[in-house]
Amino acid sequence: MEEIAITRIKALRAERDGDRWDQAMHRFTEVAEAMATMDYSDIDGSLMEAAIDAAQADATTGEMMGVLKNALGWRAPHEY
């Protein structure tokens, strides 16, 4: 199973439109960073719109989550 997933991700990355991906991920990163600092003055659109654009540009969930982790930080969920 893992090998199949890796093969599919490699194929996706090789076949996607790199320029479209770059633009979408740049915008997604800008919006996520603005969200982290709560400075929305220069941002056009929402995080959801930017995430949809990135997904439509074939960004993977892992790539988008990496942006969010870098911009917003991450800590383990609290266990009760």
Tell me the pLDDT of the chain averaged across its residues: 89
Extents of the domains making up the chain: 2-72
What pLDDT shows up at residue 36? Answer: 83
Q: Yes or no: say if 29 and 54 are a contact pair by the CB < 8 Å rule.
A: no
pLDDT tens string 22-51: 999 999 999 999 888 877 666 677 889 999
What pLDDT shows up at residue 42? Answer: 66
Q: Yes or no: say if 53 and 27 are a contact pair by the CB < 8 Å rule.
A: yes
Q: Which residue has the tokens 């654009």?
A: 53
What pLDDT shows up at residue 61? Answer: 93
The per-type count for the chain, helices as H runs and strands as E runs, is 4, 0
CA distances from 24 to 4, 72, 78 (A): 26, 18, 32
